[in-house]
Amino acid sequence: MHRYICIGLALLGLSGCGKRDEVKPTRVLVHWHFAGPQTLQTLQPTESARLWAQPETRALWNQTLDKLARAPRRWGLDPDQSAELVRPLMADLFRTEHAFQWQETGGTTTEWILAVRLEPGSMGLWQTNLHRLFLGWTRQEPVPEPEWGGVRWPAPAGTGIRQILLARGDGWLVLAGGPDELPLARGWLREIQTRHRPLPQATQHWARLRVDWPALERRLPAWLKELGLPLTDTLATVSGQQIQFRTELQFSKPHGWEPVPWLFPSNLIREPLVGFCAARGLAPRLRPWLERAGLKLSPVPNQVCAWSLGAAPFQIFLSVPVSDATNTMRELCRVLPPWFNTNSQGRALGWWVVPTNLPAITWEGMPFFGAFCRPAFEEPRQGFIFAGLFPNSPARQSPPPELYHQILSRTNLVYYDWELGGERVRSWQLLSQVVLLLADRRQLDPSTPGARWMSMLSTNVGNVGTSLVVTGPDRMLLTRTAPLGLTGLETVLLAHWLEAPGFPWGWDWPPMPQPRRHPAATGPQKGS
C-alpha cells in the first residue's frame, strides 16, 4: 500500500498537482510574403510587365507610395515628418523580398512582424529612419536588446501592443510589435540565425496572401462582415504572359453547395459580347437578403447570369431563371419601386414606375439610359427575370458555342466570368461618372494619375478570366488570370479609392462644389 501511495504522490508532483499551464491558441490573422521582383521576372509575365512599365502605371504607383508615406498621421505622427522618413523605405520595400504576419493569441493578445531583406547600403537607411520615426512617436529613447542586437521602445497607450522591436540579422531587418515577450519575433529571428531566412524560399509563386476573415470578424466594417467570408489563401503565379491569382477558400464547416443545371436565356444573349458571367448555387446566401428586403420569392432564385455588349457603355444585362416569371415580377413590383422612390427623394435619381398593362419596372426621369426589369420567356415552361440599363441589341447574332462550352463542361463550376478588360474599364469609367453625378459627388479629374491610368488600360487590356470551382466539401478554388490581376470594375473602384482624399483610411468622395452666388446688383440711390 505504501508503494502505491508513493507512486500516486509522484505522479501528482509530475503533473503539477493535477494543474497545467493553459496553452492559449494562436491564430494567424494575416500573412503576406513577397518573394521579390527577381522571382517575378524569372516567371516572365511579359504582358503584365509591359503594362506595369507604362508611364501612367508608374505615376499612379509613385503617387500611391507618397500617400501611404503620410498615412501614419492616423497614429498621431506629423505627416510631413513621416513622409520624409517612410517614403524612401516604401520604395525599397517592393524592390526586395519581405514578409509580414499579424497573429492573435488567446483571443486578446496580438503581435505583428515585418521582415525585409536588405542590401548593406539600405540597412543603415532603414535603421536610421525607423529610429527617428519611433523616437518621434513614443517620445522615448529606445532600450538596447542585446540578445538580438537591436533596440526596443515601449509602445504608446491604446495601440494594442506593449513593445516595439527593431533588430537585424544575416541581411534581414526585423520590425515587430506585440507583448513583452514578442514570441513571433523571437521565432523568426531564430530562423534567420539558423536557416538565413525567416520563411521557406518561394519558387512556384511570387507572392502569397493568407487572410483569416472569420478571426477578423469583430474588426471588420459592417458591410464586409455581412459577406461572411471564409479563410482565403492566395498564391500569385503566372499563366502564359499574364499574372494569375489562385485563391483557396477554406470554410469552417461544409459549404453545402450543390450543382444545378445551367439555364441561360440564349435568345437574349447577343453579340457583340465584351463580358459574360454566371453563378449558381446562390439560394442559401441569397435567402437572408431577400427576407431582409421583404421579398417573398418561392423558390428562392438559385442562379444568375449577366453580360455586357460593346455597342454602348450602358448595355449591361442580367437574367435570373425563375419557376413563375409573371408572379415573381409582381412581387418585385410590390417591393422595389416604393423602396427606391422613397429613398431617392431629392437626389435627382428619377423614379421607378410600374406600367398599368403588365408587371414590369421602368426607370424614368433619367437622361442617360433607359433601365428596365421585366419577365422574359425562352420557352413555355421556363421564364426569366430580365433587367438592363439600356435596350438590347436588335441583331440576333448568338455568341460562339465555345463560350457556353467553357461553362457546361465543368460540373463543379460555381462561378464563371470572362471579359475584354479594356472595354469593361471604359464602360465602368463612364458609368462611374454617371453615378458620381447622380450622387452629387465631384468627378474624377481627367488629369489625375488614376484617370490617366484607366484611360491607358482601356486600350491595352485584353482577356480577363475568373472561375470558382468546388474542390472539396469545405474547399473552393478561385482562379483569376489577367494582365494586372483586375477586372474592369475592380480597376475603376481601385483608381477612385487611390484618388480619394482620405486614402488609405477612407473611401468618401468629396461633394460637388456649390456654385458661387454673386450679390445682386444695386441700382443708383435716390438723390445721386
- pLDDT for 246-282, tens place per residue? 999 999 999 999 999 999 998 899 999 999 999 999 9
Question: Do residue 248 and residue 140 come from a single domain?
Answer: no
Question: Do residue 249 and residue 200 come from a single domain?
Answer: no
The pTM for the full model equals 0.90
Is the residue at 528 inside a domain?
no
Structural domain ending residue among the three candidates 207, 231, 262? 207
Helical (H) or strand (E) element with 493: helix 488-499
Question: Do residue 285 and residue 356 come from a single domain?
Answer: yes
Question: Do residue 294 and residue 197 come from a single domain?
Answer: no
Digits of tens for pLDDT over the chain (528 positions)? 443 334 333 333 333 444 444 557 899 999 999 998 877 776 667 889 899 999 999 999 999 999 999 999 888 888 898 999 999 999 999 999 999 999 999 878 999 999 999 999 999 999 999 999 999 999 999 999 988 889 999 998 888 899 999 999 999 999 999 999 999 999 999 999 999 999 999 888 999 999 999 999 999 989 899 899 999 999 999 888 899 999 999 999 999 999 999 999 988 999 999 999 999 999 999 999 999 999 999 999 999 999 999 988 889 999 999 999 999 999 999 999 999 999 887 776 889 999 998 899 999 988 777 899 999 987 667 899 999 999 998 888 889 999 999 999 999 999 999 999 999 999 999 999 988 988 889 999 999 999 999 999 999 999 999 999 999 999 999 999 999 999 999 999 999 999 999 999 988 888 888 766 555 555 455 444
pLDDT digits (tens, 9 = 90+) for 465-524: 999 999 999 999 999 999 999 999 999 999 999 999 999 998 888 888 876 655 555 545
Residues 6+ apart with CB under 8 A from 451: 444, 445, 495, 499
Helical (H) or strand (E) element with 437: helix 421-438
Question: Do residue 195 and residue 253 come from a single domain?
Answer: no
Question: Do residue 297 and residue 398 come from a single domain?
Answer: yes
Is the residue at 88 inside a domain?
yes
Phi/psi for 381 (5° steps) reads -100, 0
Question: Do residue 179 and residue 250 come from a single domain?
Answer: no
Is the residue at 364 inside a domain?
yes
Is the residue at 224 inside a domain?
no
Distance, CA of 364 to chain centre: 33
pLDDT at 4: 38
pLDDT at 516: 61
Question: Do residue 252 and residue 123 come from a single domain?
Answer: no
Is the residue at 16 inside a domain?
no
Phi/psi for 197 (5° steps) reads -165, 150
Report the alpha-carbon angle 29-33-37, nearest 5.
155
Question: Do residue 379 and residue 454 come from a single domain?
Answer: yes
Place of cell 412581387: 331
Joined together, the cell numbers standing for residue 214 give 472569420
Is the residue at 231 inside a domain?
no
> Crossing angle of helices 55-69/488-499, nearest 10°?
50
Helix (H, G, I), strand (E, B) or coil at 9: helix
Return the biggest CA–CA distance within the chain: 128
Question: Do residue 112 and residue 251 come from a single domain?
Answer: no
Provide the residue type at 12 as one letter. Answer: L
Structural domain ending residue among the three candidates 207, 223, 256? 207
Structural domain count, the chain: 2
Question: Do residue 111 and residue 253 come from a single domain?
Answer: no
For residue 488, give its domain range.
242-499
Is the residue at 346 inside a domain?
yes
Classify strands 382-388 and 372-379 as parallel, antiparallel or unpaired. Answer: antiparallel
Is the residue at 2 inside a domain?
no
CA distance from start to end of the chain: 127
The residue among 24, 47, 44 whose CA lies nearest residue 103 is 24
Question: Do residue 103 and residue 51 come from a single domain?
Answer: yes
pLDDT at 396: 82
